[in-house]
A and B are shown apart, each in its own frame.
Chain A
């Protein structure tokens, strides 16, 4: 029986995803911070995109860069780790949308009876920034790929 994944809109700037994992916070943290493990779950198997490269310098001030391939296009997502507390907390910026649209992601790993409660929290800089990103559909100048990814996400297994 799979544990449920919860999504909740906390405010006009915040979105929260959470789930319980049957493993210690150390193992779950490893899977988020070791590229060879991260690569194996971030892109679901059913998705027709691939993670071409994944560089992560997991320490405060370190950067990350993910390169995805979809058809003949590639997309890069990058940012900086603001906070790294082993087995407990990760905070990073999502800088691909530009400075004004930088989203801050906080992931916490909490021990619950030998299991881990994972919570991922996205904070947008302002309501206006979120509205603008939404209205433009994309801030990276490749709306076509966003449309395709939209379809991709919609086609994910139920």
Chain B
């Protein structure tokens, strides 16, 4: 019943469902950072942070580059705004539906008062 709007939904959504990963993106939006920097910032193990960065990297949200012993992370080619735009479009569909539903509720209320 609610499927037909799903086409624009993007795979990177899953990557954004985790609060640490959203935090990492916000952080990288301010400045590039190494995995070590991010692990410290989010009080995680290096292994844990590597996993999160891996998920973001596969979704195209982050790219990494290893120079010497340091792996630097930066925002990837796929922009976060695409996701925001999808949510906003979806919200607009429901807002339009709910505005119509609102009218029906008011009509039902008026009828109830009359009876």
Binding site for B on A (CB under 8 A): 2-7, 9-12, 17, 19, 21-23, 27-28, 30-31, 37, 40-42, 44-47, 64, 66, 68, 75, 77-79, 92, 94, 96-97, 103, 105, 120, 122, 127, 130-131, 133-135, 137-138, 146-147, 149-150, 153-154, 156-158
- Shortest Cβ distance from A138 into chain B, in angstroms? 6
Give me 13 A-to-B residue pairs in the complex whose CB atoms sit less than 8 angstroms apart, sorted by A's number. Answer: A2-B102, A12-B13, A12-B14, A17-B91, A28-B101, A41-B98, A47-B96, A94-B2, A105-B2, A122-B2, A134-B7, A150-B8, A153-B5
Complex Cα spacing A11 to B19, Å: 10
For residue B79, CB closer than 8 A to chain A, the reply is no
Q: Which residues of B contact A103 (CB under 8 A)?
A: 2-3
Pair B4/A44 contact, Cβ less than 8 Å: no
Binding site for A on B (CB under 8 A): 1-11, 13-14, 16-18, 87, 89-106, 108-109, 112
Pair A97/B14 contact, Cβ less than 8 Å: no
With A5-B98, A17-B90, A134-B6 known, 18 other A-B pairs at CB within 8 A are A7-B90, A7-B91, A9-B16, A19-B98, A21-B105, A22-B105, A23-B108, A23-B109, A27-B109, A28-B105, A40-B100, A44-B100, A103-B2, A134-B11, A149-B5, A150-B7, A157-B96, A158-B92
Complex Cα spacing A31 to B109, Å: 12
Pair A156/B105 contact, Cβ less than 8 Å: no
